[in-house]
C-alpha cells in the first residue's frame, strides 16, 4: 500500500481509504461482519477510516468505535468523520454553526470511543452560516485537542477559495482537505475543484469511484434494469436506459469495460485505479458492504494506468465531463431557489 501526506498536515494516509457509509442500517446491519471488514482493511495496509455522524444515524460511528476499541491500536489509525446533516428532529440539530458543531463533535467522540478525531470534516456547505463562524469553532476544537485537523466535503471551488481568503483575513486556521466526488463518469471536479485543491496545498480524499454502481458492471447496455430495487428504486431517472443521459453513461461503460478487459482487469479495478492517477488526489475512498466488495477494491491497489491508457479514458469520457452526477452534491441556492434567479414579473420587461 502506498502512503501520502494529507494536505501538509504531516499525517500519512494510505492511498485507499475505508469508507463506512454502508455500515449499519442502510447497508450491512451485522456489526461483527463490519468489524471483520475493518480488520481486513487494516491488515492489508489501509490506515485511514472515514465515517460521518449521519451514516445510519450514528450507527456507523458506533460500529467503527467498537471495532477499533476491540483492536486496541487506535493510534495506528487515522480516524475521519463528518458533521452537517440533521441528526434527529427539531431545530438547530444540523448545519455548520458553532452551536451545532460543539454539540455534534462530543456526540461523535462518544460514539467513536475516542478522545480525539484526526480529521473532522464539514460534510456540505451551509449558506445560512458565515464561513468565519465555522472556521472559528473548528480552530477552537483544534486548540482544545478534540480534533487534530479539519476539512470539508463536496464544496465547490469558489467556496474553497472564499474560506481560504476569510481564514487569511481573520487569522483563522483553514480547511486542510476536501472530499469531492470523482470517477471515470464524474470528472467535473477536474475543471476547478482539484486544481484549486492543489493551488491551496490541500489534500483530497475522493468518494464515489464506482459512480453509484454504474462502474461495477451491474448495469450494461441492452440489459434490463429493475427500477423497483436498490439505487434505481431511489432514483429511477438515473438508471432508466430509455433516457438519453442514462444511455450516454451505458455507452461509456461499454467502452470502459472493453478497455479493462484489454488490460486483463475488471471494470471496478479500472475505476478505482483511475482517480489515483490524478496528482491532486491523496486517497480514494472505497465503501464496501461485503467482504467480496472489499477484496475487489483491494485488487485495484497494484493497478497502474500508464499515459496510453489514460489517453484512451480521455477519449471515452473527456476531461472535466460529468456523465454521472453523484447523489447529494451540494447545489447553491441560486439554482435550487427559483426566486433568486427570477425578477418580479413587473420588472422583467426591458421597456
Q: How far apart are CA 148 and CA 245, in angstroms?
A: 42
Residues 184, 313: contact at Cβ < 8 Å?
A: yes
Confirm whether 55 is a catalytic residue: yes
Q: How far apart are CA 106 and CA 41, in angstroms?
A: 27
Catalytic member of 55, 120, 182, 324: 55
Residues 151, 281: contact at Cβ < 8 Å?
A: no
Phi, psi of 208 (to 5 degrees): 70, 40
Q: List Cα–Cα distances, 42 to 120, 294, 347, in angstroms.
A: 20, 12, 61
Which residue reads 469558489 in cell numbers?
158
| Maximum distance among all Cα pairs of the chain, rounded to whole angstroms | 74
Q: Alpha helix locations (H) across 124-243? A: 131-143, 157-170, 193-199, 230-234, 236-239
220: cell is: 450494461
List, by residue number, the catalytic residues: 55
Amino acid at each position: 500500500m502506498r502512503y501520502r501526506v494529507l494536505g501538509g498536515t504531516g499525517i500519512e494516509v494510505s492511498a485507499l481509504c475505508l469508507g463506512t457509509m454502508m455500515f449499519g442500517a442502510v447497508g450491512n446491519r451485522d456489526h461483527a461482519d463490519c468489524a471483520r471488514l475493518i480488520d481486513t482493511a487494516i491488515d492489508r495496509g489501509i490506515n485511514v477510516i472515514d465515517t460521518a455522524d449521519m451514516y445510519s444515524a450514528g450507527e456507523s460511528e458506533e460500529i467503527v468505535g467498537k471495532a477499533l476499541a476491540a483492536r486496541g491500536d487506535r493510534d495506528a489509525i487515522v480516524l475521519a468523520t463528518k458533521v452537517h446533516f440533521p441528526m434527529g428532529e427539531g431545530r438547530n440539530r444540523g448545519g455548520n454553526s458553532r452551536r451545532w458543531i460543539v454539540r455534534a463533535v462530543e456526540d461523535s467522540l462518544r460514539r467513536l470511543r475516542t478522545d480525539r478525531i484526526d480529521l473532522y470534516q464539514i460534510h456540505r456547505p451551509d449558506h445560512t452560516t458565515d464561513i468565519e463562524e465555522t472556521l472559528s469553532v473548528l480552530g477552537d476544537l483544534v486548540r482544545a485537542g478534540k480534533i487534530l485537523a479539519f476539512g470539508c466535503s463536496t464544496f465547490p471551488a469558489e467556496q474553497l477559495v472564499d474560506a481560504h481568503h476569510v481564514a487569511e483575513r481573520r487569522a483563522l486556521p483553514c480547511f486542510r482537505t476536501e472530499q469531492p466526488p470523482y470517477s471515470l463518469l464524474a470528472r467535473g471536479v477536474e475543471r476547478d475543484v482539484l486544481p484549486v485543491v492543489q493551488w491551496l496545498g490541500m489534500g483530497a480524499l475522493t468518494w464515489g469511484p464506482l459512480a453509484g454502481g454504474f462502474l461495477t458492471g451491474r448495469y450494461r447496455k441492452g440489459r434490463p434494469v429493475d427500477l423497483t430495487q436498490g439505487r434505481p428504486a431511489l432514483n429511477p431517472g438515473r438508471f432508466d436506459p430509455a433516457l438519453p443521459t442514462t444511455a450516454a453513461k451505458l455507452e461509456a461503460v461499454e467502452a470502459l469495460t472493453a478497455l479493462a478487459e484489454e488490460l486483463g482487469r475488471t471494470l471496478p479495478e479500472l475505476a478505482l485505479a483511475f482517480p489515483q492517477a490524478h496528482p491532486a488526489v491523496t486517497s480514494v475512498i472505497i465503501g464496501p458492504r461485503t467482504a467480496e466488495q472489499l477484496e475487489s477494491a483491494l485488487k485495484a491497489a497494484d493497478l497502474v494506468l500508464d499515459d496510453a491508457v489514460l489517453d484512451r479514458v480521455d477519449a471515452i469520457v473527456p476531461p472535466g465531463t460529468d456523465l454521472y452526477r453523484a447523489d447529494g452534491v451540494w447545489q447553491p441556492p441560486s439554482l435550487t431557489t427559483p426566486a433568486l434567479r427570477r425578477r418580479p414579473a413587473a420588472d422583467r420587461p426591458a421597456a
